[in-house]
């Protein structure tokens, strides 16, 4: 899971805390990406991310420019993980 943030974003610290906790609970990788850096900006542009906070999992943008609750994020991630596991087992 990647969380895209900017230093001046007022809700980004909370988004990072929520995403970090969800990633840890579900046993998935977590990384913060600062859009104020050139590398971060380039990575954000590859996902068409123009606002923060935004959250990406496995190349899918699941939150774009808004804060979501821990419960909503957990359910979204779990749903996607289940779909990917089902797809992988059918191949």
* Sheet of 54-57, strands arranged across: 31-34, 2-5, 54-57, 60-64
pLDDT of residue 91: 67
46 pLDDT higher than 80 = yes
- The CA distance from 23 to 5, in Å, is 17
Q: Which residue has the higher pLDDT, 87 or 78?
A: 78
Q: Can you give the residue range of the structural domain that contains 36?
A: 2-90
Answer whether residue 83 shows pLDDT above 80. Answer: yes
Indicate the number of domains in the chain.
Answer: 1
| Residue 57, both tokens | 């999992």
Instruction: Tell me what the mean pLDDT of segment 54-62 comes to.
Output: 93
14-32 pLDDT, tens digit each? 999 999 999 999 999 999 9
- pTM assigned to the model: 0.90
The CATH number of the domain where 33 resides is what? 3.40.30.10
């Amino acid at each position: 899971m990647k969380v895209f943030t900017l230093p001046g974003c007022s809700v980004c610290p909370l988004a990072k805390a929520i995403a970090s906790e969800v990633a840890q609970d579900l046993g998935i990788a977590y990384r913060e990406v600062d859009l104020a850096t050139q590398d971060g900006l380039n990575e954000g542009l590859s996902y068409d991310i123009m606002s923060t906070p935004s959250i990406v999992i496995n190349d899918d943008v699941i939150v774009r420019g808004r804060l979501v609750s821990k419960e909503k994020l957990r359910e979204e991630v779990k749903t996607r993980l289940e779909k990917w596991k089902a797809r992988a087992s059918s191949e």
